[in-house]
Structure 1
Amino acid sequence: MANLRTKALEQVEKRKVAEVNTPSEDISKFFGVDSFGLDQMRETLAPATYKEAEDAILNGKKISPELSSAIAAAVKTWAISKGAKHYTHWFQPLTGDTAEKHDTFFDAMKGIEIFKGSALIRQEPDASSFPNGGIRSTFEARGYTAWDPSSPMFVWGETLCIPTIFVSYTGESLDNKAPLLKSVDTIDRAATRVCKFFDRNVSKITPSLGCEQEYFVVDKAFYNARPDLVLAGRTVFGHNPAKGQQLDDHYFGSIPNRVLNYMKDFEAEALKKGIPVSTRHNEVAPSQFEVAPLFEEINKATDHNQLLIDIMNKVAERHDLKVLFHEKPFAGLNGSGKHNNWSLITNTGVNLFQPSSSAKENLQFLTFFVNTLMAVYEHGDLLRASIASAGNDHRLGANEAPPAIISAFIGSQLSAVLDELENNGNIKVEKGDNMYMKLGIDKIPEILLDNTDRNRTSPFAFTGNKFEFRAPGSDINCAAPMTVLNVIVADRLNTFADEVDALVEKGEDRRIAIVNILRDYIKASKAIRFEGDGYSKAWEEEAEGRGLPNVKNTPEALDAYLTEKSIQVFSHDNVLTEKELEARREILLENYIRKIQIESRVMGDLASNHVIPTAVKYQNILINNAKGLKELGVDNSAVLSTIEKISMHLAVLRNGIKDMTNERKRVNDIEDVRDQAIAYCHDIKDKYFDEIRRAVDKLELYVDDEDWPLVKYREMLFLR
């Protein structure tokens, strides 16, 4: 009887490239047609009502019941014209995915379609059924989703989707969006305060985000024939093929036809929803790709990334494909990240991380640049915690992604600028002196005209006019690391502003005060600046000498959320309370435990029910062959050697599965969630996973190819 692998191979052999009917007109003609934001409100609302809506959305003013009713009526008419029959509050609980509960527009009692303003503003899903870290008991079910008017609504299929926050009955955040929105307000206030040192016209600062999304694509039949991919999102077994990524011939290569048509299809859907996708290409590993949008306001960009993932998953079904967002679906190949490109934009249109031809503007640039470095230096542990997950642990520090050590790359030119500024010494400026020349700041524009090279081994790199946080994994919600980045930079900017004000009150020139404080920050934060190879063992040793932490596993990394300094920085402006931080840490620990637990069970199932029976059956065939050769007087030593090796690997496999199962029972009895997570990390994953995998991967080499039950890497990874 053919096994799943054989059936999958037969299915894939018959595949044809799916036809794609993408819009024929220019993108500008259909971009955002399935999205309802300010532009659509301008077209459908009365001028006075639109002005009120614009003020509410752009400036955070309270939305009146009358305004919500007017918007609800307009969006209902628009959505129904698009074929929508239901609406949902689209939210982002702490599961890592999005969630939705659909309600119909149709009112059976009245026989008409109705959508009230109250329904637009709020819904009530079951809060106890989502991760809450103990904030809500099972019998305390009430929670609320509340409309986020700053993110456009959209139609997906026959449903109007309304982006919302998700909070408990008692007001605690139960999602990723609410803290992000609070952090946006926090950094707006802090950055605007500092900006006014340079330009009194600045009244608002908006953080922006461009998120590069990496992913793998495999045929759906192969995916369904691999229980580990279905249940764990990654292959727990699989021997590396003879050819993988070692020739570097996949990166930026010609995109396979099936994948190219799939890309065209999901990009068209994304563009209709208003997601400004602009880049597609092959990544380093076979069957690995990347999609990247243009920069957007950070909250909208985060929503769009979550929506893009949903679109990619659904469109893949049309092409008999499966998208893998796990950080490390295949051992021995590069994993996938989500590179978060972050910057700050003023209401006057200035990117605060863009060097200028003006010496005065460059002092502003240096102020925000150095404060960001200082924030990363002070809170590197918190940034590390923000990207911690079971999947990302496979990727970080694996010589394919930034290490778990949080450092910043700024390039040789900017390093020279900072060194000059630091070493310039205290100077006196007489009336009429060119202060910028004395400080060396007037030289900066010329130095920065040809900016520095990029460093892909750095977790936090400056890339010309933005910082690129490269450490987040491909499966993460951008909101978590971006919330952390917003709050730590805001905290540092507020401290900086306080220090400047204090010196000015003592009679010091503001410009000199700013420079002197920046000098101190440059000196203090020097430990996190690293220009070399972040993959090297030498850097690990050097980083240890600098006092930089190198926390390689999630359970220990998450401790950073509950340090005194982290609680203080989050509690400012009430972004997250200590109670909410404790809950999130517990949720992340529980998620880690469940992921490792599932993977260990999958390993046991595949080994016991697929690999061992197949290997034993093949071993028996070899034993019979060896007997036959002996009876014929033919040398059977090679066959006996293979039998012996199979026996050895089977023994390792059986003992490993048995011992891991027994150890898992012990670990499951540990009550403290942190202790249990650490035990799953060290006593289950570290102790058994690699040993069991090696045994299975060796058996894959010995068992007859026709009998091996699991789809092999060489079959999955070279999709054409």
Structure 2
Amino acid sequence: MSTVFASPSENGQTSGATGGASTSAASTPRRSAVAAVTNRLASPQTINFVDVPAQEYYSTNVFTKSVMKDRLPKSVYKSLVRTIDSGEKLDPEIADIVASAIKDWAMEKGATHYAHIFYPLTGATAEKHDSFLSPTADGSTLSEFSGKQLCQGEPDGSSFPSGGIRVTSQARGYTIWDVTSPAYILENPNGTTLCIPTAFVSWTGEALDKKTPVLRSMQALNKHAQRVLKVFGHTDGAFVASTAGPEQEYFLIDRNFYYARPDLLNAGRTLFGAKPPKGQEFDDHYFGAIPERVLAFMCEAERELFKLGIPVKTRHNEVAPGQFEVAPVFESANVAADHQQQMMLTLRKIAEKYGMACLLHEKPFAGVNGSGKHVNWSLGSSSQGNLLDPGDTPHDNAKFLVFCAAIIRAVYKHQDLMRAVVASAGNDHRLGANEAPPAIISIFLGDQLTDIFEQIKGGGANSSLPSGTLEVGVDVLPPLPKDAGDRNRTSPFAFTGNRFEFRAVGSNQSISGPLVAMNTIIAESVDFCAGRLEDALANDPDSLNSAVQSLLSEIVGECSAIIFNGDGYSEEWHREAAERGLLNLKTTADALPHLASPENTQMFAKYGVLSARELHSRLETYQEQYCMTVDVEANLAVNIARTMIFPAAIRYQNELASTCANLKVVGFEFDTETLDTVTALVKSLQDGIATLEYAIADDSAVAPEDACRHRCDAVLPSMLSLRETVDKLELIIADDIWPLPTYQEMLFIK
């Protein structure tokens, strides 16, 4: 029988940094943590996965269309579905009917409260719970839930980052029911809560959240995609939605190690840590057998995600030791963004049940691969299907080529924005390393599409490279159809068959920002394409083919510099990219100012996605978050170095000095090389602490951009210098003295 793993407290041990093993006076939190992990006991499996198959509980906690159909009058149901599927305006007259039905459904599932779920600019998920129960005059209660309560809530708008849109004296904010993202039940051992996804706006109607711009950008993209489809004779009006399937990478470590590392607990990443003797160089972890404890966690996490209607499909070991991945199938971009937030919460929550911590930071461990959130993006409609599906002969698929060319143009024109929306203090440690896309934005098309666009550049595409058949040379293996092109894991924006994969998104990010950027720049580019084609057909209704050829040639001729199919990690590419005129925005301090450039400000306003004030509020918020993140890390580094590393180094130095002195008394000469090295490193440690403290205190910047620059150019280098000293000490100081769990322990002890 499968097993799950109990926490130390369930086995009579003490959870946390001290573990449950008996300790001596010389014990460190690290040694106690190791003892707690290695003494962990397994408890019997409790999930009935045989008698209750997954298909029976999939979406059981979601107010799905099928539930709506069963519980709502036919006219109300049809009205809701038109809003969800076609983007029609929501009829406010049906709110009370829907509220009554959804309340009854939720209470049948044990709900006593409802919560408006929203996504402020913190990037986290926020929720405000209210009870269904209202007291009556006779001392009893009634369960109430009106259409107004469903549609509107009122959290404090000034207590979330808003870039100055809301302040304490102007605090009113509203949550507004998003009917396109289904309500769901949040389970707890002591009850359930009805959760209603909402937008979050100010009293002035300005967006304070991540969701509202996603919805606006999807609306803009649909509007202009309809124009291109009309040119090709498709006039059914089926809503063209952007879709997303974000892969989620994460690390798992035992929570005893987690609680023994103040840097992981407070910053989400290790600020110190020497490279272990074995890392990922053998590539033996990638797609390897999943450890039993981890697999038990995955099974339960997936079960909870299935109940919420989140279509997780893939699970596997990732490249780095202790790193894993879960990936869903495609959904409407707005729903995918909501589900991604729920997924992160679920992974963290279920990991705790198995005595582990789920690390979603982009770079929790130096020297091994960090974690990304590859956002697979496409667009399509119920009548046209996936508009990025090239078909068997893509050179003849004019509609596909127009949308594909629009995307090429969009990324070329707005490469700065694509880089800015993935900029964060955490992602800076990952982007540009030999594990993730470089900070230079480019597009990988693959051999087949590259060949087609080269033909277009030369005057017209007449053929497509054949896919062919894969020959392995083993008779018992069946022949396999071969893709027309290879994959490129070094590209930040890669075409992968019927979608583009934005690989630069950080693992801890909300995908909403990248979705807003992709939807909006592609809406702008599709608008451009639609205008060119409409003008040509207005002059000559039979000129569609020549108009498409002219448009594609123009885009390829102007924007082909963004197409790169080679090794994005190579130094040669960095030099070539510079020659092509592509941007290389290496840090958040470099990239963020581009978010609100005049061109981007104008574009977001033109397509009704973000006003200039809303966009600048985001820039200010993200700059502030970058500075606060670096400040927390810098202060942590000083604290850990002074109160944990320095005392350990002094103790070891004292042991060496005492040994040297004692041997000298009895006439033996003691080699002082190690003592000299430790003494020099202790001095370097003290100097490093002082230098970092000075860098922290030397912040005289007033403008947010200058504050980011100071942290990038002064604070972070000082932290790195201090780290180099600490990591050298870790490799010298006696094992029984070193206070912090090591990389070897955290990554390999499960």
TM-score (norm 2): 0.91
Amino acid at match of 1:21: I
Cα–Cα, structure 1 residues 602 and 5, in superposed 2: closer, same or farther, change >3 Å?
same
Partners in 2 of 1:360 and 1:74 — Cα distance? 51
Q: Does 1:488 align with 2:513?
A: no
Cα–Cα, structure 1 residues 441 and 362, in superposed 2: closer, same or farther, change >3 Å?
farther
Residue segments in structure 1 that go unaligned for 5+ positions in a row: 425-438
> Contact 2:395/2:464 (CA < 8 Å) preserved in 1?
no
Amino acid at match of 1:193: R
* 1:182-197 equivalences in 2 (<5 Å): 182-197=216-231
Partners in 2 of 1:330 and 1:20 — Cα distance? 33
Q: Does 1:354 align with 2:389?
A: yes
Amino acid at match of 2:288: G
Partners in 1 of 2:394 and 2:125 — Cα distance? 46
Any idea what SS the aligned residue of 1:101 has? Answer: strand
> Contact 1:5/1:710 (CA < 8 Å) preserved in 2?
yes
Amino acid at match of 1:617: R
Match of 1:224 in 2: 259
* 1:36-51 equivalences in 2 (<5 Å): 36-51=63-78
* 1:468-507 equivalences in 2 (<5 Å): 468-507=501-540
1:166-210 per-residue CA deviation (whole Å, 9 max, x = no partner) reads: 001111101000000000011111112112222324422111111
Any idea what SS the aligned residue of 2:748 has? Answer: coil
Match of 1:205 in 2: 240
Q: Does 1:694 align with 2:736?
A: no
Any idea what SS the aligned residue of 1:696 has? Answer: helix
1:314 to 349, 353, 357: 349
1:154 to 174, 184, 198: 184
Partners in 2 of 1:468 and 1:394 — Cα distance? 21
- 1:358, CA displacement in angstroms? 6.0
* 1:504-653 equivalences in 2 (<5 Å): 504-507=537-540, 509-637=543-671, 640-653=672-685
1:468-511 per-residue CA deviation (whole Å, 9 max, x = no partner) reads: 00000000101100110000011011111111222233337121
Cα–Cα, structure 1 residues 152 and 242, in superposed 2: closer, same or farther, change >3 Å?
same
Partners in 2 of 1:487 and 1:57 — Cα distance? 20
Any idea what SS the aligned residue of 2:721 has? Answer: helix
> Contact 1:236/1:599 (CA < 8 Å) preserved in 2?
yes
Cα–Cα, structure 1 residues 441 and 178, in superposed 2: closer, same or farther, change >3 Å?
farther
Match of 2:175 in 1: 145
Match of 1:268 in 2: 303
- 1:631, CA displacement in angstroms? 2.5
Q: Does 1:662 align with 2:719?
A: no
Q: Does 1:83 align with 2:113?
A: no
Match of 2:35 in 1: 10
Q: Does 1:258 align with 2:293?
A: yes
Segment drifting more, 107-116 vs 412-421: 107-116
Match of 1:72 in 2: 99
Segment drifting more, 448-457 vs 333-342: 448-457
Partners in 1 of 2:463 and 2:656 — Cα distance? 79
Amino acid at match of 1:127: G
> Contact 2:393/2:464 (CA < 8 Å) preserved in 1?
no
Match of 1:711 in 2: 741
Cα–Cα, structure 1 residues 288 and 525, in superposed 2: closer, same or farther, change >3 Å?
same
Any idea what SS the aligned residue of 1:651 has? Answer: helix
Segment drifting more, 189-198 vs 609-618: 189-198
- 1:444, CA displacement in angstroms? 6.6
Cα–Cα, structure 1 residues 143 and 603, in superposed 2: closer, same or farther, change >3 Å?
same
1:677 to 693, 705, 708: 708
Partners in 1 of 2:450 and 2:48 — Cα distance? 47
- 1:50, CA displacement in angstroms? 1.2
2:47 to 21, 24, 33: 21
Partners in 1 of 2:683 and 2:224 — Cα distance? 62
- 1:616, CA displacement in angstroms? 0.2
Partners in 2 of 1:651 and 1:602 — Cα distance? 20
RMSD (Å), alpha carbons:
1.6
1:32-58 per-residue CA deviation (whole Å, 9 max, x = no partner) reads: 000113221111112122112222322
Any idea what SS the aligned residue of 1:280 has? Answer: strand
Match of 1:436 in 2: none
Amino acid at match of 2:40: R
Amino acid at match of 2:300: D
Q: Does 1:238 align with 2:273?
A: yes
Any idea what SS the aligned residue of 1:196 has? Answer: helix
Any idea what SS the aligned residue of 2:126 has? Answer: coil
* 1:449-464 equivalences in 2 (<5 Å): 450-464=483-497
Segment drifting more, 395-404 vs 46-55: 46-55
Any idea what SS the aligned residue of 2:731 has? Answer: helix
Match of 2:18 in 1: none
Amino acid at match of 2:267: A
* 1:108-187 equivalences in 2 (<5 Å): 108-109=135-136, 111-157=141-187, 158-187=192-221
Partners in 1 of 2:228 and 2:423 — Cα distance? 32
* 1:323-472 equivalences in 2 (<5 Å): 323-357=358-392, 362-424=397-459, 439-441=460-462, 443=464, 450-472=483-505
> Contact 1:146/1:166 (CA < 8 Å) preserved in 2?
yes
Cα–Cα, structure 1 residues 90 and 197, in superposed 2: closer, same or farther, change >3 Å?
same
- 1:349, CA displacement in angstroms? 4.2
1:325-383 per-residue CA deviation (whole Å, 9 max, x = no partner) reads: 00000000100000000111122142111112467961111111111011100000000
Partners in 2 of 1:63 and 1:351 — Cα distance? 26
Amino acid at match of 2:664: K
Amino acid at match of 1:453: D
Match of 2:21 in 1: none
- 1:16, CA displacement in angstroms? 2.9
Match of 2:87 in 1: 60
Match of 1:430 in 2: none
Segment drifting more, 163-172 vs 77-86: 77-86
Segment drifting more, 322-331 vs 196-205: 196-205
Match of 1:432 in 2: none
> Contact 2:589/2:709 (CA < 8 Å) preserved in 1?
yes
Partners in 1 of 2:247 and 2:394 — Cα distance? 33
- 1:451, CA displacement in angstroms? 2.2
Partners in 1 of 2:134 and 2:530 — Cα distance? 56
Segment drifting more, 129-138 vs 565-574: 565-574
> Contact 1:23/1:268 (CA < 8 Å) preserved in 2?
no
- 1:11, CA displacement in angstroms? 1.1
Amino acid at match of 1:106: L
> Contact 1:17/1:257 (CA < 8 Å) preserved in 2?
no
Match of 1:99 in 2: 126
> Contact 2:448/2:465 (CA < 8 Å) preserved in 1?
no
Amino acid at match of 2:555: Y
Cα–Cα, structure 1 residues 694 and 446, in superposed 2: closer, same or farther, change >3 Å?
closer
Residue segments in structure 2 that go unaligned for 5+ positions in a row: 1-24, 469-480
Q: How many residues align?
A: 702
> Contact 1:20/1:265 (CA < 8 Å) preserved in 2?
no
1:114-135 per-residue CA deviation (whole Å, 9 max, x = no partner) reads: 1111111010000000000011
TM-score (norm 1): 0.95
Amino acid at match of 2:561: A
> Contact 2:452/2:463 (CA < 8 Å) preserved in 1?
no
Amino acid at match of 1:295: F
Any idea what SS the aligned residue of 2:231 has? Answer: coil
Any idea what SS the aligned residue of 1:574 has? Answer: coil
Segment drifting more, 7-16 vs 531-540: 7-16
- 1:415, CA displacement in angstroms? 1.1
Any idea what SS the aligned residue of 2:379 has? Answer: strand
Identity in percent: 43
1:572-625 per-residue CA deviation (whole Å, 9 max, x = no partner) reads: 231001111110000000000000000000000000000001110111011000
Match of 2:3 in 1: none
Match of 2:477 in 1: none
